[in-house]
Amino acid sequence: MVSITYNSRHAYLLVGIAINFYSNICLCFCFCLNIGMNELLFATVDFPLLDKAHIVDTIMDTPRKYWWWDSYRTTNMLPLMTRSGKIGHDGSDNGGKDEFEWVDYTSKEIRDWFDDIVFPWMGQRARIMALLTEPNFSNAEHIDCDENQVGTMQHKFRYVLQGQTDTLYWITENGQVNAPAIDQPFLMDGGWPHGMHNSSNGFKLTLAVGAPWIGNHSYDNINVLQSRKDYVLPSNWRQYLKK
Ligand SMILES: [Fe+2]
């Protein structure tokens, strides 16, 4: 009996040590992943692709009265998913606790792609905008978060439906650095000052998801092509914040 009690205590002790060891390993692993994801500047996302030309048509068929002008980023915006499905500029408001819902005019193809693939991957719904930039036009250089969030995980999901991804550029202490030219969706760090010059003769159209989603601590289907640690923030980065 004494032997059994001793063995039981011994077993509990070993289990306790094992759990503690495992917890520490997990904490260390998560910490490492957090650091890694904080450093993400640009990464491709491996998803089944949309029929871009068709999606462009469905978006551009939406009456112009539903679009609004974002003067901070100097781009046209069309809300596709908003809190309570609000339309127009009201759809840009991410405050409150209303559920994110599809705006009535959003096509079934877009809804299905996000509902079946993107949102399960993100772990939540978030606001979706279509961003339209006219030919030979530049979006204003800006930062997509508050000052105290710069350097934290501020992932934005983007999918360029028409135009080139390398028209996006980062502002660094050593000059501009273009994003890579890719075809698939990508993640970008909204906390790094950036701009976009659409140098083509056609408009650029992009699907954009951001707040309140800020990113995941790990992904199983991304390929990081640019990292924050390889560049230096410009010393004047605060000038790109929204005033
Ligand atoms: Fe941005």
Q: Which pair of structure tokens corresponds to residue 197?
A: 């010059």
Query: Ligand 1: distance of its center to the CA of 151 in Å?
Result: 15
Q: Is 56 exposed, middle or buried (0-12, 13-18, 19+ CB in 10 A)?
A: middle
The pLDDT confidence band at residue 92, using thresholds 50, 70 and 90, is confident
Residue 219: its pLDDT value, please?
95
- Residue with the larger pLDDT of the pair 27 and 240: 240
- Residue with the larger pLDDT of the pair 140 and 36: 140
End-to-end CA distance of the chain: 74
- Residue 6 included in any domain: no
Q: Is 29 exposed, middle or buried (0-12, 13-18, 19+ CB in 10 A)?
A: exposed
- Residue 33 included in any domain: no
Domain that includes residue 216, residue range: 39-240
Answer yes or no: is pLDDT of 185 > 90: yes
- Residue with the larger pLDDT of the pair 88 and 170: 170
Answer yes or no: is pLDDT of 32 > 60: no
Range name among 4-18, 108-122, 198-212 with the lowest pLDDT average:
4-18
- Residue 231 included in any domain: yes
- Residue 15 included in any domain: no
pLDDT digits (tens, 9 = 90+) for 138-184: 999 999 999 999 999 999 999 999 999 999 999 999 999 999 999 99
Give the integer Cα–Cα distance in Å for 66 and 75: 14
Query: Ligand 1: distance of its center to the CA of 213 in Å?
Result: 14
Query: Ligand 1: distance of its center to the CA of 156 in Å?
Result: 8
The whole-chain average pLDDT of the chain stands at 88
Query: Ligand 1: distance of its center to the CA of 195 in Å?
Result: 7
- Residue 97 included in any domain: yes
Q: What backbone torsions phi and psi does residue 192 show, to the nearest 5 degrees? A: -105, 135
Query: Ligand 1: distance of its center to the CA of 137 in Å?
Result: 15
**Cα Dmax for the chain:** 87
Q: Which pair of structure tokens corresponds to residue 158?
A: 């983007």
Query: Ligand 1: distance of its center to the CA of 6 in Å?
Result: 63
Domain count, the chain: 1
Residue 134: its pLDDT value, please?
95
- Residue 1 included in any domain: no
- Residue 10 included in any domain: no
The pLDDT confidence band at residue 94, using thresholds 50, 70 and 90, is confident
CATH of the domain at 87: 2.60.120.10
Query: Ligand 1: distance of its center to the CA of 194 in Å?
Result: 7
Query: Ligand 1: distance of its center to the CA of 143 in Å?
Result: 6
Query: Ligand 1: distance of its center to the CA of 162 in Å?
Result: 17
Q: What is the mean pLDDT of residues 67-82?
A: 94
Share of the chain above pLDDT 90, in %: 77
Residue 61: count of CB within 10 angstroms of its CB: 9
pTM of the predicted model, to two decimals? 0.84
Query: Ligand 1: distance of its center to the CA of 188 in Å?
Result: 9
pLDDT digits (tens, 9 = 90+) for 103-151: 999 999 999 999 999 999 999 999 999 999 999 999 999 999 999 999 9
- Residue 199 included in any domain: yes
The pLDDT confidence band at residue 13, using thresholds 50, 70 and 90, is very low
